[in-house]
Amino acid sequence: MAGPGQDLENPLGVGAGALHEWIFATRTGREMIGQPGGSEDIDDDLFKQGFDGIGATVMGRNMFGPVRGPWGESDWRGWWGDDPPFHHPVFVLTHHPHPPISMAGGTTFHFVTDGIDAALALAVDAAQGADIRLGGGASTIRQFLRAGLIDSMHIAVAPVLLGGGERLFGDEPIAYECERMIASERVTHYLFGRSS
């Protein structure tokens, strides 16, 4: 999920840019950062599919930004510029209250201070029957896994060894089966659903 030595300059740790190179090689990933071109292949299909039918996103605070502790005078508005790629309500888990932030394109960041169940309830309500996407990071995903709240996972494994950093999985007992595994030139995708 991240390499060693995470700080403001290396928000995902040293070397971890390689984890997401495949995204910025796709047409959808490049559109997200206002760039033309990009591949229209399995990587693009699966990255795009991650946004299909999603009505709300839940993410951890470190996924939203590098600010730690109380928000203070911070005017941080997320990693994604003025028009974030969500276009729906995003619920950010934090211990510190923060007023909602409305962005262009229909994205509003809401800050939830009372845990994952509260965040999920708000997201379900906001999504009006559409799916909820869990944006990360690792500790947020592990909290939802432990609570048995995840139906399906798309895990993209980039062929890079970082030598440390943050892992996706701890020792959560989990019951998922792989429904699809497919490798492009850049990354291998594993799609997991609950074991039947």
Return residues touching a copy of itself (CB under 8 A).
Answer: 4, 157, 159-161, 163-164, 169, 171-178, 181-183, 185, 188, 190, 192
For a copy of itself, give the closer residue by CB, 64 or 144: 144
Neighbours of 72 (CB within 10 A): 7
- Least gap, CB of 184 to a copy of itself (angstroms): 9
- Least gap, CB of 178 to a copy of itself (angstroms): 3
Q: How far apart are CA 153 and CA 180, in angstroms?
A: 11
For a copy of itself, give the closer residue by CB, 147 or 178: 178
The residue whose two tokens read 């990009």 is 38
For a copy of itself, give the closer residue by CB, 80 or 190: 190
For a copy of itself, give the closer residue by CB, 8 or 175: 175
- Least gap, CB of 4 to a copy of itself (angstroms): 7
- Least gap, CB of 142 to a copy of itself (angstroms): 12
| Chain centroid, CA 78 distance in Å | 12
Enter the tokens of residue 72.
Answer: 């203070």
- Least gap, CB of 173 to a copy of itself (angstroms): 5
Of 62, 64, 17, 26, give the one whose Cα is nearest residue 44: 26
Peptide bond into 65 cis (omega under 30): no
For a copy of itself, give the closer residue by CB, 124 or 158: 158
Q: How far apart are CA 122 and CA 149, in angstroms?
A: 14
Report the phi/psi class of residue 38: left, alpha or beta, with left for phi > 0 and alpha for psi in -120 to 50: left
For a copy of itself, give the closer residue by CB, 121 or 182: 182
Edge-to-edge order in the sheet of strand 54-60 = 101-102, 108-112, 89-93, 54-60, 131-136
For the chain, the farthest-separated pair of C-alpha atoms sits apart, in whole angstroms, at 49
- Least gap, CB of 26 to a copy of itself (angstroms): 17
